[in-house]
Amino acid sequence: MHQHKVLPKRIILVRHGESHGNLDTAAYTTTPDHKIDLTPTGIAQAQNAGACIRAAIASDSSSPNWRLYFYVSPYARARSTLRELGRSFSRARVIGVREECRIREQDFGNFQERERMDSIMETRLRYGRFYYRFPEGESAADVFDRVSSFLESLWRDIDMNRLNQDPSHDLNLIIVTHGLASRVFLMRWFKWTVEQFELLSNPANCEIRIMQLGAGGEYSLAVHHTEEELLQWGLSLEMIADQKWRAQANKGAWNDQVPVCLNAFFDNLPDSDDDNVDLNEVTDKIKNSPMNKKKMKRKEIR
C-alpha cells in the first residue's frame, strides 16, 4: 500500500558544543577523537541550542502539532550535545533518534601530535581544504562521499515513511554533527561547487543552520536566516540570491540564473546558434585540429 510522503518542514543542522579538543588541542594527543566529550561550557551551549530550536519551531503558530526526529554522529561530543539539547523537548514530541556513522567528524588520523598537526594544517591551507587528505585520515572530498550516501538513505526514509510520520504533524529533522560534515551536507544539498565550499566558514559550537521549506516546496536557508547571517557564513552574493529564489520557487524548479549553472564553466557563450557563430569557421577549426589531422594520417596509412 502506498504511503503518503510527508516532507520535513525543517532540516536543522547543529554542530556539537565546545569539546575538550576545542578548548585545548593537546587532548587529541592522548584521547581518541571519538571519545572527546563536551566541556561545561559545551554542555551549557547544547542546552541553549535546544531552547533556540524549540523557539524556532514553536513560534510557527500555523503548525502546533510538530514532531522531531534526530540523527546524531556517534562521537561522544555529538551524543552529549543531543542529550543536553533534548532536555527542551517532551517525549511526546520525539518520534525517534538514530545514530548515523556517516555524519561523524572528518578523520584526521588517529592520535594527533601537536607539532605534526601544525605542519599538516599549513600544508592543507596551501593544498586546498576540500581535496587535502590527512595522513591516515580523510579529505573533505571523502566526507562528501559518505554524506552523499547518508542523504540518499535519508530520502529513502522519507519516501517510504520509515519515520512513521503522521501527515497531520509537521516533521523537523535535527542532525547533530560536526563543522565540516554540516558544511559538506549543505554543499551536497544545494549543489555548491568546490570553489563555493572553500568560501564557507566553520559553524561555531552549537550554531544552528535551518533549511526550511519555502512557499513552493523547495528548501532554503533564506526562509529562517537573514542575509547578514548568510554573509557571515561565507555565502557569496550569488549563493544568497539562489537561497532567496529557492524560498519562493516551485518544487523541482531549476534556477538557471545561478552563475554556477553555466557561467562558472563557460566564457561568453552566445545566447543562440545564430549569435556570433560562424559555422564555416567552426568547421575549419575541426578540420585543422591536431586530432583530426592524426585521424586523416592514419586513414592514409591504411
Does the annotation place 15 within a ligand binding site? yes
4 a catalytic residue:
no
Cβ burial of 135 (10 Å; 0-12, 13-18, 19+) is exposed
Choice among 4, 84, 100, 105 that is catalytic: 105
Does the annotation place 246 within a ligand binding site? no
Residues 9, 172: contact at Cβ < 8 Å?
yes
Does the annotation place 86 within a ligand binding site? no
Does the annotation place 54 within a ligand binding site? no
CA 87 from centre of chain: 26
Does the annotation place 21 within a ligand binding site? yes
Does the annotation place 18 within a ligand binding site? yes
The span from the CA of 153 to the CA of 150, in Å, is 5
Does the annotation place 19 within a ligand binding site? yes
Which positions ≥6 away from 205 have C-beta within 8 Å? Answer: 15, 16, 17, 18, 19, 22, 42, 45
Helical residues (DSSP H) of the chain, grouped into ranges = 20-23, 27-30, 40-58, 76-85, 114-127, 140-159, 179-190, 194-199, 227-232, 237-248, 279-287, 290-301
Beta pairing, strands 208-213 & 219-220 = antiparallel
Does the annotation place 225 within a ligand binding site? no
CA distances from 226 to 7, 9, 207, 239, 290 (A): 23, 18, 15, 13, 53
Residues 161, 4: contact at Cβ < 8 Å?
yes
The span from the CA of 201 to the CA of 204, in Å, is 9
225 a catalytic residue:
no
Does the annotation place 102 within a ligand binding site? no
Residue stretches of the annotated binding site for substrate: 15-22, 77
Could you give the residue numbers annotated as active site?
16, 105
- Report the binding-site residues: 15-22, 77
